[in-house]
């Protein structure tokens, strides 16, 4: 297992419905995670969840965005082929034109320092 490092220009964007099912994935998401758009759309977003990530982090994310607030954090995700990548994630609620609740997540390259801090924190949450 090796780390797939994001480029500084990479911006991963995805959108899910209120249940966390992917309804949109941009090209960067497909490229980094190693899935086609067709493989991602309709799947739960946790298709990229890395087992090292404590569930407490996702409980916090969901309670934050369901309360209508913006969540930010450093997240370790897994690729289709079993490698991993770190992202600096921002997730926030939105409403589609037809009034349905949805969630948008934008992920960029984190700094090494942010990753190290996250790794320390996640050890305490396991």
pLDDT, tens digit (0-9, with 9 covering 90-100), for 17-68: 999 999 999 999 999 999 999 999 999 999 999 999 999 999 999 999 999 9
Domain residues of the chain, as ranges? 12-125
On the 0-12 / 13-18 / 19+ scale of CB atoms within 10 A, 19 is exposed
pLDDT, tens digit (0-9, with 9 covering 90-100), for 79-118: 999 999 999 999 999 998 899 999 999 999 999 999 999 9
Q: Specify the CATH class of 12-125 in words.
A: alpha beta
**Is the pLDDT confidence value at 126 over 90?**
no
């Amino acid at each position: 297992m090796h780390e797939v490092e994001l480029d500084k220009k990479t911006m991963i964007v995805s959108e899910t419905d209120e249940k966390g099912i992917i309804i949109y994935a941009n090209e960067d998401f497909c490229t980094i995670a190693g899935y086609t758009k067709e493989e991602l759309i309709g799947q739960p977003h946790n298709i990229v969840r890395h087992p090292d990530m404590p569930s407490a982090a996702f409980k916090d994310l969901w309670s934050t965005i369901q309360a209508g607030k913006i969540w930010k954090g450093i997240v370790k995700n897994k690729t289709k082929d079993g490698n991993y990548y770190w992202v600096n994630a921002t997730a926030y609620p939105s409403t589609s034109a037809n009034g349905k609740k949805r969630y948008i997540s934008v992920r960029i390259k984190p700094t090494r320092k942010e990753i190290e801090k996250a790794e320390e924190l996640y050890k305490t949450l396991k």
